[in-house]
Structures are given as structure tokens and as C-alpha cells.
Amino acid sequence: MFSIEHDFDATVVTLMDEGESPLQEDVVLTAFEEVVQVEQYDPRSDSIQKISISMAQLRELAAALNLPEGVYRIDRPTR
């Protein structure tokens, strides 16, 4: 299950784990104009773990989810 919210300066997607036990904490993706932040609560450290990735990295991650094992480069259109 997931939810999508549009804030003033970002889109927030929350992914909720509904699978079999052991379940993972919710994952929150906050997409700003130039960066995406991924957050998840870590019960071991009792803190939120956060990473930031560029929009280019996000596009590559999305592409990688549907590709077989290997090394790839996505050609970007020139301006």
C-alpha cells in the first residue's frame, strides 16, 4: 500500500509494508525539484535514516529495477 501527497514544494510518497512478517518500517520518499530524499525509521538506533539522491540517480534506479544483471549507462538527451 502507498499514499501520495502533494505539498507546496514537494511530492511525498509513503510506502507501507503489508507483506508477510517480519514487516519493515514505512519508507517515505520526498521529491523536490532537484533531489529526492528517502527516509525510514530504524528501531535499532531509534532514529530516522535518510539519504538524498539526484533526479538522474532516481531515473537510473527506476530503470535498473526492470533490467537483468549487468552494467548500464542511460544516454541523456543533449540540450
pLDDT in tens, 19-33: 888 889 999 999 999
- 75-79-53 Cα angle (round to 5): 55
Q: How confident is the model at residue 79 (pLDDT cuts 50, 70, 90)?
A: low
Q: Compare 18 and 52 and report the one with higher pLDDT.
A: 52
CB neighbour list of residue 75: distance below 8 Å, 6 or more residues apart: none
- pTM (2 d.p.): 0.78
